[in-house]
Amino acid sequence: MYRSILLPTDGSEAAEAGVREGLRLAQALKARVALLYALEPLGPKLLLGPETLPYYRELLEDLRKAGLAALDRATRLAEEMGVPFEAHLLEGLAAEVILQEAAKHDLLVLGTHGRTGLDRLLLGSVAREVARRSPKPVLLVPYRRA
């Protein structure tokens, strides 16, 4: 059965819904979880770098802090639920980082934003890419606004 579950988060409400569902599953299965935040590079997508954006380093540090805050929320929830965990902030494209880490686990649980139309086209879908390419089973948790 599933002994190790990967729970990626980007700090969004949709991702955190996936984390909560993954933690409930881990609790029921008495499994360990790995919480993951992928700090994506700014440069390739947005053509930004220290030479073009005066506050690039501050922006990167703010993104790192946001990632650590997302992991902190997830670890507090894991602690409250009594689920054993490890937490990692890794740098790289989100889908690639998640897929690399997937090899170490039995199952991935990801929240989905449920974007459609132009939003989906422009923003892409990390969950879709991971589900399509993952070497391990993937549970997608749809986000529903309250």
Q: Give residue-wise pLDDT tens across range 92-119.
A: 999 999 999 999 999 999 998 765 554 4
Determine the structural domain holding residue 118 and report its residue range. 4-142
The alpha carbon dihedral of 40, 41, 43, 44 has a sign of negative
State the average pLDDT over residues 40-54. 61
* CATH at residue 69: 3.40.50.620
H or E element at residue 64: helix 56-81
Write the CA distances from 40 to 3, 35, 82, 92, 142, integer angstroms: 28, 16, 30, 5, 23
pLDDT of amino acid 48: 54
Binning pLDDT at 50, 70 and 90, where does residue 10 land?
very high
How many C-beta neighbours within 10 Å does residue 94 have?
Answer: 20
Q: Pairing mode, if any, of strands 107-112 and 138-142?
A: parallel
Determine the length of the chain: 146
Task: Examine the pLDDT at 43 and tell me if it is beyond 70.
Answer: no
pLDDT of amino acid 120: 47
Binning pLDDT at 50, 70 and 90, where does residue 50 land?
low
pLDDT of amino acid 119: 46
Domain count, the chain: 1
Q: Which residue has the higher pLDDT, 54 or 43?
A: 54
